[in-house]
Structure 1
Amino acid sequence: MSSKAGFFNLSIKNILSDGQSMLTQARIRLLYYGLLIVSVAVSAILLSVWNLNQTALTSMCAGVLFLAIVLFKYLTWRGDWKFVSHTLLLMGTLINLADAFVIFQKIDILSIQLVLMIIIFSFYMLGQNWGLLYSMLNLTPVLLFMVYTYSHIYIIDIRPEHLDQSTIILSVLANFAIMVYIHNHFYNAFLKNIIKLKKTSEDQSRLNENLEIAIDKAEKSSLAKSEFLSTMSHEIRTPLNAVIGMSNLLMMGNPRPDQEENLEILKFSASNLLAIVNDVLDFNKIESGKVVFENIRFNLTELMHNICGGQIIKANEKGLIFKLKIDDVLRNKIVIGDPTRITQIIFNLVSNAIKFTRQGYVEVKVHCMEDRHNQVIIRFSVKDSGIGIERDNLNAIFEPFTQESITTTRKYGGTGLGLAIVKRLLELRGVNMEVMSKPGQGSEFSFNLDLPVATEKLEEPAAQPSIVFDADQTLNNLHILVAEDNMVNTMLMKKFFSKWQVQSSFAENGERAVEMMQYGNFDIVLMDLQMPVLNGFDAAMEIRRMPDAQKASIPIIALTASALTDIREKVFNAGMNDYVSKPFKPEELKEKIVTLVKRKSLLRSKSQSV
């Protein structure tokens, strides 16, 4: 109802509002104009019966007219259409009973009209349940009266009233006019409602079509974003591979102390840039919902020592005390989970703690809160004595690309993605991060992780033939084929292989690598994935289809600067044995080469012994 409606209001506009449904507005209009029609009709009948000196009918008409005026005033004041509807129906029911049993003592056309009017009005105004109730209240007494009068058992000691023909005609006309008005009003209302529903349905269909188009665009945009990030990652990692690789090469050449310091700065800066790129790509991977959690066995104590090993050095360089406390209960337990994601979470928290702590300590605690034999609840916490966080900024620090303040960003650097990645990884596991912090006194980040415990004992691996390999000696005897189209990377690989005294050959694309495999003898292939003419995936599959079994089974390591989420799966589906991400660590590449060569030698020795 509009706020303009008051006691002296007489306008229907002030009791209608946009918040009302079309049906409610139709009901209010019916009452508003219907009460006016009833007032006019009853006034005419009142004059007719008053001229005939019929006291009972005059009193009843006067009462109905008064009640109609009162209800009209109440409707324009309060707008309570339900109360007015019930009042009118109760009044009509009483009039119907009084006419049949007392005043006229018969069922005539006026009684039938009144019953029909009550039935129609109750269903339209109050719905099915109330419509049935008021219908029964009026039909049942009328039917009973007709049965009683048919059996001549109805006796009442009151002389019935009689209407003259003109009054009957006037009453019948008024009743029909009211019934026609009710039907006409609701027919128009229902017709408008159907037209509106049809229009709404058409609008909804258009909206659905637009939504499908928008979803399609969003999916294409998301795919384009992922491809763009992958491309940018490749383009950024490729020169970074050269920068970090050359830094490693120069540091391997026994530089002077001043040169070594400069190289350390160069390598540190390049590593920071690589970390930023990795953070952006990790966050994109999480946001796109493409993170898959592994369930593998690992020793949590060993994992925590590995994570914190490098961080202790960083803390000591800043003069900070680093404490790692692990519950003794966990030392011999093998748990099942995703050590990579746990490493990512703890590493980010500890890195932040060291970054934002100028003096004091950084403390990492791993506490077993509950041990249920095959399940453990572990509480991880990282506490520091750093700059702390204002209470109002506690939520903001978990938003992507956000830090506590611009001053913090300028002073300490970083992308603001570390905590966002941590929070989203935990949320994907249904875990909440708890933060306690006081500005100037430090912060504590903690969370609980529920991990299954491997209860069965690990089987001891079967004894293998004892073949001792010397890494340098193994490398010296190798002939490596490198498929790489980037000249800088080719130069870098040549320098590394020269340091390792490895014989190497280079192919500028995948097609050339397949040709060289057909006519040459190699021990291992390093395959770049994005190359012209024939890419690394197709080249690897071509090699695997070679008729020579020795060549078809040659170990292949993918070299990739790509960041696509399914790159690992694609590499193995193409038949390659392993992959190394650019920029690669020389020792990591050396270790993977030696490992695959060892495995190939062992398999060859087994087949020869058989």
Structure 2
Amino acid sequence: MLDQARIRLLYYGLLLVFVALGIILTNVLVEDQVVLATVAGFMLLSMLILFKYLTWCADWKSVTHALIAIGTLVNIIDVFVVIQKVDIIAIQLVLIITIFSFYTVGQKWGLIYSILNLLPVIVFMLYGYKNMYIIDFVPEKVDQSTIIICVIANFVLLLFIHNHFYKTYLSNIKQLKQTSEEQSNLNYTLETAIDKAEKSSQAKSEFLSTMSHEIRTPLNAVIGMTNLLIMSNPRPDQTENLEILKFSASNLLAIVNDVLDFNKIESGKIVFENIRFNLVELMNSICGGQSIKAHEKGLDFKLLVDDVLQNKVIIGDPTRITQVIFNLVSNAIKFTKQGCITVRVALFEDRHDRVTIHFSVKDTGIGIEPDSLDAIFEPFTQESVTTTRQYGGTGLGLAIVKRLLELKGVKMQVNSQPGQGSEFSFNMEFLVSTEVPVESSVKLQPTTQQDNDLSHLKILIAEDNVVNTMLMKKLFSKWKIQTSFAENGERAVEQVQYGNFDVILMDLQMPIMNGFEAATEIRKLMDTKKANTPIIALTASALTEIREKVFQSGMNDYISKPFKPEELREKLISMTTEKAV
């Protein structure tokens, strides 16, 4: 806005000066004042040239400097040579140049031009005061009519400059006020939107937590009862039906877990661990179950791991690596009807304290069209509707893989040809533990049946769901474990006060007193033996915050529903062994 005002001022100012000089030139010619006519003619010609240059190339800054410089030169010539005195016209000209220069070329140049005009005038006045000024030139006698015309023209120019910039100033203030009001409205709208987004995010998390619990609770019963029936030596035809039931329930659980994992990634709640692990053992563990699925489908399965990795202990997050590889291998098996699945893990670069490892999962499946390569990594998206109908799935697997790798700064590479198969690969860097693994000279004896015998245990189960209570009762009866049940957290605390238990299995969402509160109260008991009873959290919620709250409330471990009986058994053995030690 300021630059626009300067250009308009310069444009119309040049026209106004041109008209004023035309009148002055006509007047001095009539009065036969040759010197003044020469000065006026020079200025008139200069104004014309500057105006044409401005309209030709719009270089307003150069024109402004030239105009002020000409005005300064003419003022000095008039004071020192032509008129040889400081009159009202000279003072007006100094004021015009000072005001005009500050408004148009800024404070720095305005100050410079003001000094260049004011200083000579002051010097001349000092010389004239001491009668020291001597120049061999007869000063011009300015006619009264010329003085009147010049004074009027200068006042008009001063009024024009002030009026123009005052209007600009007011417009600028109004625009700033309007912009400020608009900015305030935008800020308010933004704050409202952020508040709504935060509430929406919180509501989504709470919804997912609730839905997770509500879905996983009946799934726990379905999978648990299926496991119990399988453990009861059913007939072959019953075993087949039970395996189908267990497989379907496990698939449903996998879908729920994918949705929860994707939500955690999107909300930035994924935290990567840095723990020591053996990659070869991890890959064998991941691909063990997957190879069985591949063989059941009639596919060959190959796991190729560099031997050099056998003795390396790397530092990273085995859980997230498992998630990435498991999703890639599951997809490869799902979309391959015949042929082979090849999982390759190779040492790409070794720098002593860190290694870069190349992971690759290759299949001979349906392949991917080139224009669909980007779409397959989008959430809830598969290559086509036909693919979704034929193979099923939520389309979250590859989206989770991509986002997990991106959080680690890793990019996925995809090579695929329709009808021939696909290869997903990436390079990931790991720190290497510099500790040399030393084999223990004491060999651990194999766990005996007596060590696995849990019949001596007495366990308190705090669970409000009747179906889950029935499931736990049947499961523990097979292990010959003595069990007591509490329908809420308050009842659990009372039973711990009056009874002796080896382990407490604590559901988290219960009426009257939840599992967190109950665990906190148990840890406050006066009897240290009872207060230190191992507590394992049992919950259908799988959110990260729940796990943190579990340990903050004083519980020892955490197991998600639906749980595997073997997993629960191992935790019970671990807890009671540690307690005995």
If the length of structure 1 is used for normalisation, what is the TM-score?
A: 0.87
SS of corresponding position for 1:333: coil
How many angstroms apart in 2 are the aligned matches of 1:367 and 1:466? 34
SS of corresponding position for 1:475: coil
Q: What is the CA-CA distance between 1:585 and the residue it aligns to?
A: 0.8
- Aligned in 2, Cα 1:439/1:81: closer, same or farther, shift over 3 Å? farther
SS of corresponding position for 1:566: helix
User: Are the equivalent residues in 2 in contact too, given 1:23–1:189 (CA < 8 A)?
Assistant: yes
Deviation track 1:221-257 (CA, whole Å, cap 9, x = no partner) reads 2112111100000000011111111221222222333
SS of corresponding position for 1:282: helix
| Equivalent residue, structure 1, for 2:454 | 475
Deviation track 1:380-432 (CA, whole Å, cap 9, x = no partner) reads 22222322233333222222222222222222221121122122222222222
Q: How does 1:362-441 map to 2 (within 5 A)?
A: 362-441=341-420
2:322 paired residue among 337, 343, 364: 343
- Aligned in 2, Cα 1:462/1:33: closer, same or farther, shift over 3 Å? farther
Aligned positions, number: 580
- Aligned in 2, Cα 1:325/1:35: closer, same or farther, shift over 3 Å? same
Q: How does 1:91-110 map to 2 (within 5 A)?
A: 91-100=70-79, 103-110=82-89
| Equivalent residue, structure 1, for 2:463 | 484
Q: How does 1:263-278 map to 2 (within 5 A)?
A: 263-278=242-257
How many angstroms apart in 2 are the aligned matches of 1:137 and 1:67? 20
| Equivalent residue, structure 2, for 1:584 | 563
Deviation track 1:423-464 (CA, whole Å, cap 9, x = no partner) reads 222222222222233333332222222211111235778979
SS of corresponding position for 1:228: helix
| Equivalent residue, structure 1, for 2:93 | 114
2:295 paired residue among 316, 325, 335: 316
- Aligned in 2, Cα 1:93/1:319: closer, same or farther, shift over 3 Å? farther
Q: What is the CA-CA distance between 1:154 and the residue it aligns to?
A: 5.9
| Equivalent residue, structure 1, for 2:551 | 572
SS of corresponding position for 1:194: helix
- Aligned in 2, Cα 1:345/1:182: closer, same or farther, shift over 3 Å? same
1:248 equivalenced with 2:193 (yes/no): no
The one-letter code of the counterpart of 2:259 is V
| Equivalent residue, structure 2, for 1:128 | 107
Q: What is the CA-CA distance between 1:147 and the residue it aligns to?
A: 7.4
User: Are the equivalent residues in 2 in contact too, given 1:469–1:598 (CA < 8 A)?
Assistant: no
Q: How does 1:165-180 map to 2 (within 5 A)?
A: 165-180=144-159
1:31 paired residue among 2, 7, 10: 10
- Aligned in 2, Cα 1:44/1:390: closer, same or farther, shift over 3 Å? same
2:194 paired residue among 211, 215, 227: 215
How many angstroms apart in 2 are the aligned matches of 1:459 and 1:473? 28
Q: What is the CA-CA distance between 1:582 and the residue it aligns to?
A: 0.4
The one-letter code of the counterpart of 1:163 is V
- Aligned in 2, Cα 1:133/1:405: closer, same or farther, shift over 3 Å? farther
User: Are the equivalent residues in 2 in contact too, given 1:148–1:154 (CA < 8 A)?
Assistant: no
Deviates more, 1:255-264 or 1:92-101: 92-101
The one-letter code of the counterpart of 1:162 is K
Q: How does 1:250-329 map to 2 (within 5 A)?
A: 250-329=229-308
Stretches of structure 1 that go unaligned for 5 or more consecutive residues are 1-21, 604-610
Deviates more, 1:110-119 or 1:461-470: 461-470
If the length of structure 2 is used for normalisation, what is the TM-score?
A: 0.91
| Equivalent residue, structure 1, for 2:504 | 525
| Equivalent residue, structure 2, for 1:544 | 523
| Equivalent residue, structure 2, for 1:161 | 140
User: Are the equivalent residues in 2 in contact too, given 1:482–1:505 (CA < 8 A)?
Assistant: yes
- Aligned in 2, Cα 1:567/1:102: closer, same or farther, shift over 3 Å? same
Deviates more, 1:550-559 or 1:109-118: 109-118
Q: What is the CA-CA distance between 1:298 and the residue it aligns to?
A: 0.7
Q: What is the CA-CA distance between 1:289 and the residue it aligns to?
A: 1.3
User: Are the equivalent residues in 2 in contact too, given 1:471–1:594 (CA < 8 A)?
Assistant: no
- Aligned in 2, Cα 1:464/1:311: closer, same or farther, shift over 3 Å? closer
- Aligned in 2, Cα 1:77/1:592: closer, same or farther, shift over 3 Å? same
Q: How does 1:176-187 map to 2 (within 5 A)?
A: 176-187=155-166
Stretches of structure 2 that go unaligned for 5 or more consecutive residues are none
- Aligned in 2, Cα 1:554/1:386: closer, same or farther, shift over 3 Å? same
- Aligned in 2, Cα 1:327/1:134: closer, same or farther, shift over 3 Å? farther
The one-letter code of the counterpart of 2:162 is H
1:46 equivalenced with 2:25 (yes/no): yes
- Aligned in 2, Cα 1:351/1:121: closer, same or farther, shift over 3 Å? same
User: Are the equivalent residues in 2 in contact too, given 1:379–1:448 (CA < 8 A)?
Assistant: yes
How many angstroms apart in 2 are the aligned matches of 1:170 and 1:557? 103
User: Are the equivalent residues in 1 in contact too, given 2:452–2:573 (CA < 8 A)?
Assistant: no
Q: What is the CA-CA distance between 1:94 and the residue it aligns to?
A: 4.1
Q: What is the CA-CA distance between 1:275 and the residue it aligns to?
A: 0.7
- Aligned in 2, Cα 1:229/1:139: closer, same or farther, shift over 3 Å? same
2:481 paired residue among 502, 512, 517: 502
| Identity value in percent | 68
Q: What is the CA-CA distance between 1:287 and the residue it aligns to?
A: 1.4
| Equivalent residue, structure 2, for 1:512 | 491
- Aligned in 2, Cα 1:326/1:462: closer, same or farther, shift over 3 Å? closer
SS of corresponding position for 1:215: helix
Deviation track 1:188-241 (CA, whole Å, cap 9, x = no partner) reads 322432343244334434433443333233222211211110000000001111
- Aligned in 2, Cα 1:98/1:526: closer, same or farther, shift over 3 Å? same
Q: What is the CA-CA distance between 1:261 and the residue it aligns to?
A: 2.2
| Equivalent residue, structure 2, for 1:443 | 422
The one-letter code of the counterpart of 1:400 is P
| Equivalent residue, structure 2, for 1:9 | none
Q: CA RMSD in A?
A: 2.9
| Equivalent residue, structure 2, for 1:13 | none
How many angstroms apart in 2 are the aligned matches of 1:217 and 1:557? 37
How many angstroms apart in 1 are the aligned matches of 2:192 and 2:518? 38
How many angstroms apart in 1 are the aligned matches of 2:464 and 2:62? 85
How many angstroms apart in 1 are the aligned matches of 2:306 and 2:138? 102
| Equivalent residue, structure 2, for 1:555 | 534
How many angstroms apart in 1 are the aligned matches of 2:298 and 2:412? 28
How many angstroms apart in 1 are the aligned matches of 2:152 and 2:125? 24
How many angstroms apart in 1 are the aligned matches of 2:440 and 2:117? 92
- Aligned in 2, Cα 1:360/1:473: closer, same or farther, shift over 3 Å? closer
User: Are the equivalent residues in 1 in contact too, given 2:508–2:539 (CA < 8 A)?
Assistant: yes
